[in-house]
Amino acid sequence: MSSSLNPRIKNIQKAIQVAVTGNFDPATINKLLSIMQVKSADQTLQAKKEAIQKKLGFTGKAVDGIFGVNTTTRLEFYVSARLPSLPPGANMIVSKKGLNLVIESEISSEPIYRLKHKKPVRPKGKSGITIGIGYDLGYTTAAKIENDWEPVLPATDVKKLKAVAGLKGKAAGIALANNNGDIRSVTIPFESAKAVFYISSLPAYAKLTRTIYPGIDKLPPMPRKHCFPWYITGGLV
Rounded Cα distance between 186 and 8, Å, is 39
Instruction: In whole angstroms, give the CA distance from residue 143 to residue 132.
Output: 18
Average pLDDT over every residue of 105-120: 89
Q: Across residues 88-114, what is the average pLDDT?
A: 73
- Average per-residue pLDDT for the chain: 82
Whole-angstrom distance, CA of residue 120 vs CA of residue 176: 8
For residue 88, pLDDT beyond 50: yes
Q: How far out from the chain centre does Cα 21 lie?
A: 28
Q: Which residues contact 146 (CB under 8 A, 6 or more apart)?
A: 158, 162
Cα separation, 130 vs 134, in Å, equals 6
- Note whether 19 and 11 are within 8 A (CB): no
Considering only 168-172, 192-196, 229-233, which range has the smallest mean pLDDT?
229-233
Weakest-pLDDT range from 79-83, 132-136, 143-147, 209-213: 79-83
98 or 129, higher pLDDT: 129
Report the pLDDT value the prediction gives residue 144, as an integer from 0 to 100: 94
Instruction: Please determine, for residue 227, whether its predicted confidence score (pLDDT) is greater than 60.
Output: no
User: What does the pLDDT read at residue 226?
Assistant: 44
State residue 73's pLDDT score: 80
pLDDT tens-place string over residues 7-58: 889 989 988 889 999 999 999 999 999 888 888 888 899 999 999 998 887 8
Q: Above 90 in pLDDT, residue 206?
A: no
What is the pLDDT averaged over residues 189-213?
Answer: 83
SS3 content of the chain, % helix, strand, coil (to 5): 55, 5, 35
For the chain, give the percent of residues with pLDDT over 90.
43
